[in-house]
């Protein structure tokens, strides 16, 4: 935007400078006509007129230099605008690309959520109501994790190693007994890797 503003400022400056050149050129032409017409006869007036024509010519040259200088500035502003416009286009392309990838990821995640939700419904339907109730309550209390694997004598919910007495109790418990971590109270899931 700054480059575009500079470019349009230069354009205005150029128009103004060209108008200045035109004015001086017209005035010099009028003076020249008067000189050529022979209507002015006084030597003093003739000298004044010639003097004015000469100074107008110099003034016109100075103003034309200004026009050239402004045109040069305008040209580099135009180049800058073109370069920046190209860069904006490239960045916008990256933004579009990232947005498309994000949207695709959202879609994938939504699909996964739907699948997992359905799977959970099926599994939850097979769990006794009181156990599911306990699990849901623990899950709320324990940051979203109501049950944890017992892995190598350690509760994977709170990462605490279980005491020997607790481990013997769990070892002695029937497979369908719900056992819980003494430390965090989460339901412990026993596997072959529990270290019992």
- Torsion on CA atoms 133, 139, 145, 147, rounded to nearest 10: -30
CB of 186 vs Zn ion, minimal distance in Å? 5
CB of 116 vs Zn ion, minimal distance in Å? 24
Name the residues that contact Zn ion, by CB under 5 A: 155, 157-158, 181, 183-184
Tokens of 137: 């309550």
CB of 196 vs Zn ion, minimal distance in Å? 15
CB closer to Zn ion out of 70 and 155:
155
Between CA 146 and CA 143 the distance in angstroms is 8
CB of 149 vs Zn ion, minimal distance in Å? 10
Count the helices and strands in the chain (H runs, E runs): 4, 4
CB closer to Zn ion out of 11 and 178:
178
Between CA 132 and CA 123 the distance in angstroms is 10
DSSP 173: S
């Amino acid at each position: 935007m700054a480059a575009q503003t500079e470019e349009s400022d230069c354009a205005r400056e150029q128009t103004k400078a060209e108008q200045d050149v035109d004015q001086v050129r017209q005035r010099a032409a009028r003076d020249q006509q008067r000189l050529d017409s022979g209507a002015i006869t006084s030597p003093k007036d003739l000298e004044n007129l010639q003097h004015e024509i000469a100074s107008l010519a110099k003034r016109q040259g100075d103003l034309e230099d200004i026009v050239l200088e402004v045109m040069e500035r305008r040209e580099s502003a135009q180049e800058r605008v073109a370069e920046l416009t190209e860069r904006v286009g490239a960045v916008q392309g990256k933004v579009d690309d990232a947005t498309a990838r994000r949207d695709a990821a959202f879609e994938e995640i939504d699909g996964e959520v739907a699948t997992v939700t359905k799977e959970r419904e099926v599994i939850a339907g097979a769990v006794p109501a009181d156990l599911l109730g306990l699990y849901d309550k623990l899950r709320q209390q324990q940051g979203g994790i109501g049950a944890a694997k017992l892995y190598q004598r350690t509760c994977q919910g709170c990462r605490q190693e279980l005491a020997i007495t607790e481990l013997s109790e769990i070892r002695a418990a029937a497979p369908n007994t719900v056992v819980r971590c003494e430390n965090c109270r989460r339901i412990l899931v026993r596997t072959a890797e529990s270290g019992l």
